Amino acid sequence: MARRLILVGAVTIAALALSSATAPAWAQGAWTCPAAENGKKNPVAKSDAAIAAGKKLTVDKACTACHGDSGKGDGPGAAALNPKPADWTSAKVQHQTDGCLLWKITTGRGAMPPWAALSETERGQLVHSLRTLKKWLRLYRSRRRSGRLLARPGRRRGFSAGALRGPASGAR
């Protein structure tokens, strides 16, 4: 009986220790950039070589382990993380300034490690590589401008998964 009580006590203490160690991750709010960082420009000029180098870095530095091959935050390591890794294809990420993305890559937060060890050039290349994932946003905007963006009945006019298909697929 005493052994069982000691075992239950040890398990309880371990559970409490683990829950207090992960509490900061659960309590993380919005990840906003300092105003001074928001206005900074990318130190690397956009080029095909810079984009290719950035894409290579995402594999070499294991970014894809959490953010996934497509950048949607669905990598194999993402399942165990809270908060979940950012979806690089999302408007939320794509609307951030280069300075903000550079700052987030440099400082990290929670399970996202700080990548200050990367050179400023490498971090700039990563940002250019992330920007290539917003292709869907360009498609949406071009469809909206051309009038080919269709709204579903009963919904506000705007973006929906069916809206990008257009009239050829029979979307309404």
d(CA 142, CA 136): 10
Is the model more confident about 152 or about 73?
Answer: 73
d(CA 127, CA 124): 5
Assigned token pair, 87: 């979806």
d(CA 134, CA 93): 9
Q: Which pLDDT belongs to residue 25? A: 45
Phi first, then psi, for residue 112 (nearest 5°) are: -80, 115
d(CA 167, CA 47): 35
CA-based max dimension of the chain? 76
Q: Give every CB contact of residue 91 below 8 A, 6+ residues apart in sequence.
A: 137
Is the model more confident about 101 or about 170?
Answer: 101
CA 1 to chain centre: 50
Domain ranges in the chain are: 46-135
pLDDT at residue 75 above 70? yes
Instruction: Indicate the pTM of the whole model.
Output: 0.65
Which CATH architecture group holds 46-135? Orthogonal Bundle (1.10)
